[in-house]
Amino acid sequence: MHLLSASCVCALFVAALLRQANSLETVIGLYGETVEIPCNNAAINAEDILITKWKYDKGEGLPGDLLVKQKNQNVSISATDEYKGRVSMAANSSLLLSAAKLTDQRTFTCMVVAGADISEYPVNVLIYKTAAGLEISDKAEDLEIGKLTKLGKCVAKDSNPAANITWRKNNTPLANGKGISIQASVLVDPVTGLSTTSSVLEYSAEKEDTDAEFSCSTRHAVGSELVSSPATFTITYSTETIVLQVTAQDPLVEGDNVSLKCLADGNPAPTAYNFHLKGELVKVENTDTYTITNVSRDSTGEYKCSLVDDPTMEASKNITVSYLDIKLSHSGTDVKKTAGQALNLTLQIDASAGVKVSWTKDNVKLNKEPTFTKLTYADSGRYECEVTMGLLSQKDFFELAVEGVPVIRRLSKKRGADHGHKVLICEVEGSPKPAVSWSINGTSLDETPFVNGKITHKITVVPTANLSVSCSVSNEFGADSRTINVSSINGEVRMDKQGPSDDNDQTKLVVGVVVGLLVATIVIGLAYWVYMKKSKQGSWKTGENEDGSSEEEKKLEEKVEENSQKAEV
């Protein structure tokens, strides 16, 4: 070229400039690799090329020679500097530059002489390098909700140009904004010129970030996207709500165990809690549970739990221990009492809530609690009480046996159906079951079942003469006996109206007392008159008392009184 005239050089220079301006090509080479820098001479027939020369721009307009190839000669390397040993030329005139470095980023120019034409093809060379890898370092141990925390640092090492790092949460890119701060910095290696990009993410976590995957990525002009391995973080937050959970049987009764569990929603969960057991403070560590064993009625009350480091976080529950105790004043199978006596029956109930009491006698429901001011044989039986309180219930019972001296209530006679014989009836009251015997041998008809202390015994006799017959009864408490006159069959007329009218008069008498003394006197007088009349009617033919007389009633009354006096002793 230096052989060419100045004017010619000048003209060529202008032409070259024009071409440069039109077609400054850019070639991107990879760091450390061989870069092929093409000589854009496709338009020129290779046969016509006389000289191909590669040079580069040293800066400040100074050119640096690299190599020259003259037609039919070998390539001559003219480089003396850093390019010595790194450059060669391909058959198609491309410059091959090995072990590319960042300092190779400059303009290389291919100059071709073909015939009288001299052409220059400058090529701009860029050397790229992708980062070696992406890694998140300086990871936060945990992220506290609502607090801007350095989550980590993502480093893209040794790249050119400098990498652009993008942070992602669950693959969605993050940008600076509310609760997100990304600070990137680039460090250039003074020797290699490669850039190391660091990006620090400060992040204000939310509760939902618990399982979120954070990663960083970079997409280089060459090569595929680089993505760091994902990182997850423990999201920590202080307790906002606290709940006391009570696990207990329903109903909770004495002797049961109750488990208290304190649930705080903080993360990490508190490791220690205070349990307030009706005022008593118990601190538990490394557990959130406290068990109360063998509760009693005194355990009823308010229970609380709270955080050790924040006593204002507190939860409470009321625990009620149900109890139902009953005590029956008389209980068991052997409650024996004497007829006529009083029985003071009491049922003590100690319960934690309202109760329902029900009674049965001999499996028949009673409408109210039984009371016994004056025991009768009919009061005998099995009494059961059941006290219920919600799901709890208690039962007790007693078997009452009313005992006493047997008393003949009534000794009566009846004409038999065929007029040939008579039926004698002995009605007895007493318990245990009295033995009944007659003073004569008759045909025993029947004996009623022994119910409510009563028994009725019947015999049939055929009296051939006027007889005095007695009925005798006895049990371990005593005996009774009564006699009845039975006339011979001839001429007897049966009249049996005395009893009922007598009862009638008694009723009137009672009414009379209530109404007033005067009225009573009149009624008594009337009753006496009626009595006399009836009495005459009843005995005018036989002269016998067919039924138990009023004298007999008196006797019975005396006996009962006697019994009750015995019992009181």
The nearer residue to ligand NAG, 184 or 263, going by C-beta atoms, is 263
Neighbours of 150 (CB within 10 A): 15
Binding residue for ligand NAG (CB under 6 A) from 23, 185, 249, 296?
Answer: 296
Q: How far apart are CA 137 and CA 152, in angstroms?
A: 6
Question: Rule CB under 6 A: which of 477-516 touch ligand NAG?
Answer: 485, 487-488
> With binding defined as CB under 6 A, does residue 317 bind ligand NAG?
yes
Task: Name the residue among 420, 539, 440 with its Cα closest to residue 483.
Answer: 440
Q: Which residues ranging from 420 to 459 are in contact with ligand NAG (CB under 6 A)?
A: 440-441
SS3 category, 39: coil
Closest CA to 484 of 509, 458, 514, 523: 458
The length of the chain is 569
Residue 425: how many other CB atoms lie within 10 Å: 17
Q: Does 318 bind ligand NAG (CB under 6 A)?
A: yes
Quick check: 92 binds ligand NAG (CB under 6 A)? yes
**Binding test (CB under 6 A) with ligand NAG, winner from 103, 170, 257, 294:** 294
Q: Does 241 bind ligand NAG (CB under 6 A)?
A: no
Nearest to 249 by CA among 147, 319, 335, 324: 319
Contacting range for ligand NAG; rule: CB under 6 A; set: 179-187, 348-356, 373-381, 462-470: 462-470
By 3-state DSSP, what share of the chain in percent is helix, strand and coil, each rounded to 5? 15, 45, 35
Query: Stretches 12-20, 72-80, 311-319, 496-504: which one binds ligand NAG (CB under 6 A)?
Result: 311-319
CA distances from 166 to 226, 238, 318, 324 (A): 10, 31, 55, 72
Q: Is residue 414 classed as helix, strand or coil in its secondary structure?
A: strand
Closest to 275 in 3D by CA, of 267, 264, 265, 392: 264
Count of residues that bind ligand NAG according to CB under 6 A: 25
Which residue number, 27 or 227, has a Cβ lying nearer to ligand NAG?
27
Q: How far is the CB of 344 from ligand NAG (least distance, A)?
A: 3
Rounded alpha-carbon distances, angstroms, from residue 285 to 100, 258, 315: 65, 19, 18
Identity of the residue, 146 or 255, whose beta carbon is nearer to ligand NAG in the bound complex? 255
Residue with Cβ nearer ligand NAG (29 or 152) = 29
Residues 161-200 that bind ligand NAG (CB under 6 A): none
437 vs 456, which CB is nearer to ligand NAG?
437
Judged by CB under 6 A, the residue of 170, 287, 316, 448 near ligand NAG is 316
Using CA atoms, how far residue 184 sits from 46, 154, 157, 162, 409, in Å, is 51, 9, 13, 11, 120
Does 43 bind ligand NAG (CB under 6 A)? Our answer is no
Least distance in angstroms from the C-beta of 49 to ligand NAG: 14
What's 133's DSSP letter?
Answer: -
Candidates 41, 94, 431, 498; binder of ligand NAG (CB under 6 A) is 94
Cis upstream peptide for 268 (omega within 30°): yes
Q: Using DSSP, how many helices (H) and how many strands (E) does the chain show?
A: 4, 39
Q: Smaller CB distance to ligand NAG: residue 205 or 321?
A: 321
Residue reference for tokens 């002009």 = 221
Among 544, 552, 553, 562, binds ligand NAG (CB under 6 A): 544
As a whole number of angstroms, the distance between CA 70 and CA 50 comes to 6
Stretch that binds ligand NAG, among 99-107, 132-140, 448-456, 541-549 (CB under 6 A): 541-549
Residue found under tokens 């007088």: 525
- String of contacts with ligand NAG for each residue 264-293, x by CB under 6 A: ------------------------------
Q: Which residues bind ligand NAG (CB under 6 A)?
A: 36, 38, 90-92, 94, 255, 294, 296, 302, 316-318, 344, 440-441, 465-466, 468, 485, 487-488, 543-545
